[in-house]
Amino acid sequence: MTEIRFPLPDVGEGLTEAEIVQWRVAPGDRIALDQVFVEIETAKSLVELPSAYEGVVSELLVEEGNTVDVGTPILVIQTDAASGMNTATTPPAATPATQAASDAASMVADTVASIAPDEGGAVLVGHGSSGPANSRRRRHPSPGGAHEHLAAPAPAPAPAPAPVVAPTASAPRPAGSAVAAPDTARRAAPERVDDGMPVIAKPPIRKLAKDLGVDLSRVTPTGPIGDVTRDDVIREASQASVFRNIQTPEVPSDRETRIPVKGVRKAIAQTMVQSAYSAPHVSVFVDVDATRTMEFVKRLKASPDFAGVKVSPLLIMAKAMIWAVRRNPSVNAQWTDDEIIIKHYVNLGVAAATPRGLIVPNVKEAQAMSMVELATALEQLTLTARDGKTQPAEMQAGTITITNIGVFGMDTGTPILNTDEVAIVALGTIKQKPWVVDGEVRPRYVTTIGASFDHRVVDGDVASRFLADVAAIIEEPALLLE
């Protein structure tokens, strides 16, 4: 037997520390190759770590909730010398093999999550453990708020997909552990409806249904494999939107609640302070008649080319920004002490409010995408962020950002610039208001667009022209055809 002390790896982008969120194994458990054994939270994302070794867990070196530096041993595994991927006593902090194992584990997880019962695959079930958002990455486009960035109540962690050997009776397992023998998984099969068929729903959907008091056996599924989606549950509960509070909580008995500043919240604070106090912000606003945009969105939804793709005003706004950047390239730039770097590509950031805090993933090379490709990319970006699966690389190298505060019912705001960018645009809510058209007051769909700029790079005339160009597309999307 060889003792392996598994160090916390650098999961990418030079991160130096991470918090142990939840162990998926306990001392005495047998661990398989590529099995997810712990969830960690970095300053940017929630990450599942797969094991690069086979063996028996002998010790957990770090308690849940503690933050440790990259390279710190977190787990001890007893393994046969021939069974591990590496016979060295200490694996490297970050290797291509480790990354490949992580990618393989994620791919297997997505595959398991999408297998239908009639294909002989596993049926996803909720297992009751609570924790940070950790639902599956792949999500079927649904007619609900795919671009509404605030998720429903934080879902439970999904079960680890890799098969493992059941622990012995003497090996205790912590509550909520996702490691189970195959026969245990079968005993945890979902409830069945009257016709004997199982209800297929991912753990976060089951948790939402429980919170809303919805009987899943009564829900008509619309998912790609006959699974129940979030919108199916919300419709059954007659909820107007995922932003409506389920219930008003009782006043806590404690006089104060203290929340440690760490992880994503710590990163947000540092970024906002750095941006607010290093870049001189200037903001401008404009009211826009968005009636033609709403009509355009309606036509796109009915188009066969957009079948199964989420279409919303955010898509037109994104296209408008890309068009306006081409006409005003200095807003798509970066300031350094020595030079201004104008980017001739658009990595379009979308600010997303998630259960773990505000993050800004971006769509790479958005200027080269068709309308359908951009719609698909925006939807995947939003769903991935809401599920807590956004990776660090997806949040880097942004060039300009949009924040859709309209989904919260807000008219406008003064957003703070994202790091290393010089422009950010806020799209307010679109609602009917009185509007003067040809000398007559008519009901029109109206929105307010706000934007903040780094005044070291963007002068007032450029800022005004850029925002006027964005507004022109919202007023008349046909200009995109030029």
End-to-end CA distance of the chain: 69
Q: How far apart are CA 404 and CA 385, in angstroms?
A: 14
Let me know if 455 is a catalytic residue.
yes
Query: DSSP for 162-175?
Result: S--PPPPTTS---T
Convert 446-463 into a string of H (helix), E (strand) and C (coil).
Answer: EEEEEEEEECCCCCHHHH
Beta bridge partners of 434: 443
Number of H helices, E strands in the chain: 9, 18
CB contact set of 125 (below 8 Å; sequence gap of 6+)? 159, 188, 189, 190, 203, 206
Identify the three-state secondary structure at position 64. Answer: coil
Residue with tokens 């929105």: 447
What SS3 class is residue 342? strand
- DSSP, res 141: -
The one catalytic residue in 127, 140, 281, 455 is 455
Q: How far apart are CA 454 and CA 109, in angstroms?
A: 42
**47 half-sphere exposure, CB direction, 13 A CA radius:** 27
Task: State the DSSP code for 154.
Answer: P
Tell me the Cα Rg of the chain: 24
- The secondary element (H helix, E strand) that includes residue 6 is strand 2-7
Residue 135: HSE in the Cβ half-sphere, 13 Å Cα cutoff:
29
Helices (H), 1-124: 96-114
CB atoms within 10 A of CB 105: 22
- What is the spatial distance between Cα 300 and Cα 238, in angstroms, rounded to a whole number? 27
Active site residues: 455
